[in-house]
Structure 1
């Protein structure tokens, strides 16, 4: 029975691997073509989807607004909207063809590392005959990948971005006049570099740990502590990374990409006035027992949620009651608020994860889709995200009411310290451990997605352009490690490893 089921699966897999067979290019150029098409799709598809959703939403809103015959002005407006939509559609398609954008970067990175390898391997065969064939091939792949990564990142960096250009007075020591000079900053590719560095470190540490595990298993010295380290390393790294990201979202939002910042804000579903009040507590501009003019900030929030206005006055009420933090959900009970948060976050997450899981279930090469498995997978991922949000809020409440006053004290100064950062830090420490609810196979992908963003919060988003070579060197070295591992050893974990292995196959 097992042998009978093997041929259809193999046929399906081979058909997936040969999707680029109709493209009339030599086999040696197929990695370059695959990389370009994949980069183009990843750069263009999300923008097209966003444009389509916005256009569909505007059309539906206009249709609901029309109750009678459509006026001529509305017809002109609809025609103008359609023309603008098609112009934007074409602009997105053309923008992906820019030689200084992501698709060309992918093609140069992958194509360069595979094309240069052949002549370099031949040269090493003559010059380094003392090395084994495997060592010569590995050395050639590392060098060619480094060169390709260096020039491909330089290609991306050559494109200017308005966010990294700043006009300043040509003579700073004199009063500002009409004479300005433009200063260009580096850092636009920092997220990509940190992604490569994180992956390279994961490859190197994974290889060292696998070697250690093989030795200890062979000598029967593999202990329960070793198993615990293997199982908890990814969750611990995710907890630390997500804690840094949440701290930055709360106190240093400029350290995060704007799209990522907006997504966290949408998932958190918190009143911005509460966040602003806690930021003022940390900055010292809102202090318990001192009238600093901040009472109106939370007074409006109290009125909106049906709470006494005095609860928002830092002089009259020390500290702010947790009912204000709950924003009307769960009353004064922190546990009821946590439960209500979980339910709302679960429903919100399921609306995102379920369509994706069903789409993947239909796409997978199986005899028939498995909607039940897709539903369970979406429910599990939704429970993970809902628990993440719940633990963050409950950690804040624990520090403010349950644990914090017992450890730090209940006097005014201790309350200032708790609301000045301790409560948010408690939520940051707790929330990331929700990753334990996810499948073990997905934990590594989620961790490796969040870790680069956590590292980015520790570095400046813009820096002097003369230091850009350091970032380029770090990316080139990291990309060389990752690409070589993907082709030789298959040690690039997660979805990225599978994609790289298929793209770089000659």
Structure 2
């Protein structure tokens, strides 16, 4: 390039004209052969919209609310340009689809079976492009982005391969309930199993003081325990004053958190001293969560209007926002109330041989399980999408996020196989790929 720029203007113009002609000829051939088909353009635009629209909505809304109007244009330009990096998601998807089309063109004479052709072409495209995309994001310290993407594709591929012909509303609900249980149990006791962003989002939605969460973890690992008359000083754990310090933080009597006096940590303490009564506290949590959920689903539905409804805003989308907000608020509320329900004295009286520590550690798990039943408040089509959203997160609690060659290879392999299955079904049996992923693939390939 430097050599060309150093040439005299006339020679440089001739060379650049020839390069331009060659470029258009190559593009024309690729278009004619279906390699640069409309699917490449559509895949890029979908991926680009998926990346930029949530950022634009979130950032612009924040700037308007804070009165920083002069920063809006700069923010829009920054979001639009940063998402065009060669190794960012939109161009990765465009490269993936282009190489898929090229592989299809080269292999079609040798593989007459269309399903097999799509499987092989898609697998080759993914295994050739995904590792570089993966490495780029890991270099940016975002290990979980590609892992989340891979697990999402794995779940969708298994669904297309096995479940979609047989699953109904009940099956989707069961998947959601079990996934919610696994996620919430991890959030309480093994937060390192969840991705940092998802963990932070759950904490925000649950609206629970991190110190109470830590208290449950200390009960779980024995750093805090209920003391009895037979315990000596050596039996007292180092963190025994933890709940007393928590009470002091809220300006309350530390004796409420003294587990040498209290036979059961009062629900008032677990409620962070909002209300002593469990039912009033549950209603309070519902109202707080409902307000937060309205903002969340309002933004999500705006995104759906823009991407799929061509800016139309029918009344049903307002109803959908309210219904989804009720669902999420109920998810949080059932988790809180389930926590209290298990810790009630009446259960302890029914089973006198069960220790209070056991009840305290069982309570979050039951709360997590009950939370999942909130899905029945959603529309059947939304239950399907919700189950396919939470299942990868639940699956992720069983996968090591450690960065090493072995893990990265297996992730690339899982992504490539899953992508091949989804593309093959999207092209030959589109009804088998459910939810937003199925809709996106049908837009790209049809």
* TM-score, scaled to structure 2: 0.81
Q: Cα deviations across residues 250-297 of structure 1 (Å, max 9, x unaligned)? A: 222222222222211111111222111111111100011164354553
* Distance in 1 of aligned mates of 2:64 and 2:206: 26
CA deviation digits over 1:456-496, x for unaligned, max 9?
11111114214432222221111111011111111110122
Between 1:91-100 and 1:196-205, the stretch displaced more is 91-100
> What do the CA deviations read for 1:226-261 (whole angstroms, capped 9, x no partner)?
xxx733111111111111111222222222222222
Counterpart of 2:386?
446
Please, which of 124, 147, 153 is the counterpart of residue 147 of structure 1? 124
What residue is the counterpart of 1:370 in the other structure?
Answer: 314
Identify the match of residue 208 of structure 2 among 258, 270, 295.
270
Q: 1:115 and 2:115 equivalent?
A: no
Q: What is residue 215 of structure 1 aligned with on the other side?
A: none
- Correspondences of 1:137-216 after superposition (within 5 Å): 137-159=114-136, 161-162=138-139, 189-206=146-163, 209=166
Partner of 2:169: 231
Match of 2:258 among 300, 313, 332: 313
CA shift in 2, pair 1:349/1:100, >3 Å:
same
Cα displacement string for residues 19-67 of structure 1 (whole angstroms, at most 9, x for unaligned residues): xxxx99937321112212222232334344444455456555xx9xxxx
In the alignment, is the contact (CA less than 8 A) between 2:49 and 2:307 conserved in 1?
no
Residue of structure 2 equivalent to 1:26: 31
Give yes or no for contact 2:225–2:240 (8 Å, CA) kept in 1.
Answer: no
Taking structure 1 as reference, are residues 189 and 365 closer, same or farther at Cα in structure 2, changes over 3 Å only?
closer
SS at match of 1:189: helix
The answer to whether residue 38 in structure 2 is matched with residue 95 in structure 1 is no
Paired residues, number: 408
C-alpha distance in 2 between matches for 1:368 and 1:100: 33
2:293 counterpart of 1:349: yes
8 Å Cα contact 1:354-1:374 kept in structure 2: no
1:202-243: CA deviation from partner (whole Å, max 9, x where unpaired) = 00113553xxxxxxxxxxxxxxxxxxx733111111111111
Residue 335 of structure 1 is matched in structure 2 by 279
- In structure 2, the residue corresponding to 1:320 is in which secondary structure? coil
Shift of 1:330: 3.5
**Cα 1:297/1:362, change in 2 over 3 Å:** same
Closer, same or farther: CA 116–352 of 1 in aligned 2, 3 Å: same
Change (3 A) 1:386 1:447: same
Alpha-carbon contact 1:105-1:155 (below 8 Å) kept: no
Q: Distance in 2 between matches of 1:294 and 1:92?
A: 46
In structure 1, distance between residues paired with 2:288 and 2:107: 58
Q: Structure 2: 5+ residue runs without aligned partners?
A: 1-26, 228-234
Counterpart CA distance in 1 for 2:309 and 2:164 is 31
2:333, 2:371 within 8 Å by CA — same for their partners in 1? Answer: yes
| Residues 163 and 120 of structure 1: CA distance in aligned 2, closer, same or farther (over 3 Å) | closer
Residue 345 of structure 2 is aligned to residue 388 of structure 1: no
**RCO comparison, higher one (Cα < 8 Å, 6+):** 2
Distance in 1 between residues matched to 2:111 and 2:206, nearest whole Å: 56
> 1:180 matched to which residue of 2?
none
Following the alignment from structure 1 to structure 2, what is the Cα–Cα distance between the partners of residues 389 and 426? 13
Question: When the two structures are superposed, what TM-score results if normalisation uses the length of structure 1?
Answer: 0.72
Report if aligned partners of 1:273, 1:297 keep a CA contact under 8 Å in 2. no
